[in-house]
Amino acid sequence: MTRTKLVGAAILLGLALPVGTTPAEAQSRQTVKSGAVRQAVPLNQGWRFHFNDSGSNPGEEVLQSGFDDSSWKPVSVPHSWNRIGGYGAKPSEPGNWQGIGWYRLSVEAPAAAPGMRQYLDFAAVSKIAEVWVNEQRVGGHEGAFARFRLDVTDAWKPGQRNLIVVRADNSKVEPGSATSEVIPLAGDFFVHGGIYRDVSLLQLPPVSIDPLDYGGPGVYARATSLTDELATVEVRTRLRNFADGRKVRLLTQVIDAAGRTIAREERSLNVARGASEAKADLSIRSPHRWNGRADPYLYTVRSTLMDGSIVLDSVEQPLGLRTFRFDADNGFFLNGQHLKLHGVSRHQDALRAGWALSPEQHAQDMALIEELGANTVRQAHYQHADEWSELADRAGMVVWAELPYVTSPSLKGDKGSAALWANAEHQLREQIRQNYNHPSIVMWSVGNEVDSAKGFGQKGEPPKPLALLQHLNAVAKQEDPGRPTTMADCCEGLSMIATAGEKLAGTTDLIGYNRYFGWYYPKPLEAAAQLGQTLDKLHAEHPKLPISLSEYGAGGAITQHSDDVKSGFVNFIGRPHPEEYQAWVHEQSWPVLAERDFVFASWVWAMFDFSSDLRGEGDSYDLNDKGLVTADRKARKDAFWFYKAAWSDAPALHIAGKRYVDRAYPVMDVKAYANAPAAQLSLNGRPLGTAACVNFVCEWKRVPLRPGPNKAVVTASVGGKTVRDTTVWNGPAANAGIRIDAGNLAGRVIQGKRFGSDTFVSGGTPMVLNMGSFGGRSLGPERSVQTSSPELFDYWREGEAFSYAVPAANGAWKVTLHLFEPKADTTRKALTVSANGEPVIENLDVASAAGGPLRELVREFPVTVSDGVLRLDFKTSGGKTSVAAIELTR
């Protein structure tokens, strides 16, 4: 059995009693060392873990001290039993187990003077927790994201060995499950299981700053007025007394960044048994404002509870002095100055760590966001760790904090049960109290896409999300009238998505719209126009409602690449997701957002690829791949570099498409991102001219590649400083041939041959054989083609007339066409193909010649190229022709 001994807790336990104190008085005056701030004894090491994969309950013996847990896995917390997602082939071991995990810790507790209260502090356990101490149940918690504390005094044995047992449950949400009344009920992210944040022990005297106030700090500060000359700060300190009435002193201080006390108030209090609150009003002259990324200055508020000169308890919290407002026409203002908010959404997981992130991982995430040049972060879709909000305070990020009311209030077609409402309200109060003092947080979101249950396969009548949304909005205003509320909308005005039919806009003070133009919606190549028109329309329909774009983006796979992002089929729930297409969507979106001040903020979805076992897309499994950075934080995608050029104050220059090293075609478009007016390109030492950088994008069209390595160098001048970036692309060998995967947005190697993506084409429409699936649900029936090269038929181009103009060296070539008929259509069709104006195929009925639909038909013919371009024209009478691939070989 694991045995852990805790030492070094003297700061909690030391006694400093006045001379002549009686034993009775001693019991009511247990203190920490004078001047000390409350400390926590860490309980992160020495745990034993067992996942109940058999489904059987191990019984009450697991709660007993004599239970043999030596076969259980030794773990430290933070810990999760889930490891969701990765890149490449999906392993046979899924990592998305849902059910019950058991944890046991045998710990030798620090001693405590008589009368001290003992609290277990859990920073988060997912999704439902039950806790026992020394075989006694001491409490539980329902909700995966908030801190909770349990008073375990009656069960705890100071100075002796204690047994802590935790039962964590992340069972699948379904009717009758324990998790079916605990938000979230659904969503495009995986709810990991485990004790995935820290555990600690608090030892406090009978009268203390309240540790049981919804897991909050018990100290809550806000500026009631703020000018350049004077700030007045209200500090509310909540107290809890387990003894009879006590007379104590409360010292409230504001401490500046240099450690100097600049405001203080000390008062005597008569504290009755139970919970109470004391208020102090402090004045700060010439206040230093918290001013976002420009100057994130922080004060500290300290509340100290004393009995005479003896410190009973002391808690510190951050204080940032700022004013802000939202204007429906002009956007966001911080300290009276307009600030265009542009940033990212962030989930709390990382590859191979799940939700069990270390402080170093939190810091790494924030450093990448700062590097990007973002000034705002959306905490998606739940309460994030305290460390994360502290990092946001210090980085000057403006934060959208969110409650996990996601997708639906009910598994049935109703407004949700009383139990679920109570749970949602409790989680919201926890989140607000635990995060109240963070100046970075400027809005509370009370829901995300709560009208989208049908998109997650919910059957029957759509749920009614509005009533709970209204209730939560009222709770948030009650808890914190100083911050506005917001929500993220899924579906307003999108006729292709089935919704609850209730009007949600206007429920909260602000609104965010999750909109994916260029990705999920028809006509993706019109992304910029559609986004602009939609934002203008929403603003006109809600002229008094400040609006934001709370999600936008596209999938991006760093091993999948496109030669022409405007030609292939955009398979948003399947494969491929070329890195270049993701970047193009963001190139189209940002200028639309930048020129609209009424859009107070925009958040890219998302900063990092994150776990979702609903998906198998791009080059990953069980990941949403819309991140600007891969889930392992190792690769910044091209879209990251675009935003760094657009947002960062530092000189920025990056050549796009560096990972597409082995090129399929002898010509390419070169693209770079720079915050410079223009950039210069040289290839293999030869200057190729200057390109204007329009909206941070610099392009050189139809750049020829020689066979083998081609070294590209791009330079630019930013603010008088020359910046430079280089890369190498390999051009195809002269005799390698040219192969086009018609209809495909990405190129790939098939049976040892490199095919480029659909390029050099005009007319026709790219098509897909099988779309893929979301959450195991496909958008269409699975089909297959009878062929020796099935991958070639994943995509195709079809139409009555379309043409290719393929760059090819002069001389003789052989052309191979891979044709088929995708539908059981009895209409006879007649295909004619011309090469450089000369007919090479006439009146061909593909289906008849192939022996039926969904069968490959190969046709070959010789051609001679004389001007560096092979022109292939496809025309069909009686219907459309489908071309899966084109090969040019010597």
By the 8 A CB rule, do 697 and 642 touch? yes
For 669, half-sphere exposure in the C-beta direction (CA atoms, 13 angstrom radius) is 15
Residue 187's closest CA among 453, 387, 435, 368?
Answer: 453
Q: How many CB atoms lie within 10 A of CB 704?
A: 14
d(CA 28, CA 305): 13
Token pair, residue 150, equals: 């349990």
For 456, half-sphere exposure in the C-beta direction (CA atoms, 13 angstrom radius) is 24
Q: What is the DSSP string of 251-281?
A: EEEEE-TTS-EEEEEEEEEEE-SEEEEEEEE
Rounded alpha-carbon distances, angstroms, from residue 73 to 48, 356, 457, 669: 5, 16, 37, 54
Kindly tell me the burial class for residue 657, based on how many C-beta atoms sit within 10 Å of its own C-beta (0-12, 13-18, 19 or more): buried
d(CA 221, CA 234): 6
d(CA 100, CA 399): 33
Rounded to whole angstroms, the maximal C-alpha distance in the chain is: 113
The separation between the first and the last C-alpha atoms of the chain, rounded to the nearest angstrom, is 72
Residue 623's closest CA among 589, 565, 573?
Answer: 573
Using the CB atoms, write b or e for 626-641: b if 16+ within 10 Å: bbbbbbebebbbbbbb
CB within 8 A of 212, min separation 6: which ones? 119, 149, 151, 240, 275
d(CA 236, CA 281): 9
Whether 449 is catalytic is: yes
CB within 8 A of 16, min separation 6: which ones? 31, 33, 34, 309, 310
By the 8 A CB rule, do 589 and 521 touch? no
Kindly tell me the burial class for residue 497, based on how many C-beta atoms sit within 10 Å of its own C-beta (0-12, 13-18, 19 or more): middle
Token pair, residue 584, equals: 């193009």
d(CA 173, CA 737): 53
By the 8 A CB rule, do 428 and 479 touch? yes
CB within 8 A of 409, min separation 6: which ones? 185, 415, 416, 420, 421, 424, 450, 463, 464, 465, 467, 468
Q: Which of 142, 449, 579, 821 is catalytic?
A: 449
CB within 8 A of 227, min separation 6: which ones? none
d(CA 526, CA 420): 41
772 beta partners? none
Residue 89's closest CA among 615, 559, 619, 614?
Answer: 619
By the 8 A CB rule, do 616 and 573 touch? no
Token pair, residue 102, equals: 């058991």
d(CA 679, CA 687): 11
Q: What is the DSSP string of 372-419?
A: HT--EEEE-SSPPPHHHHHHHHHHT-EEEEE---BS-S-SSSSS--HH
For 876, half-sphere exposure in the C-beta direction (CA atoms, 13 angstrom radius) is 24
d(CA 850, CA 868): 33
Place of tokens 């490891």: 83
d(CA 668, CA 732): 12
Catalytic residue ranges: 449
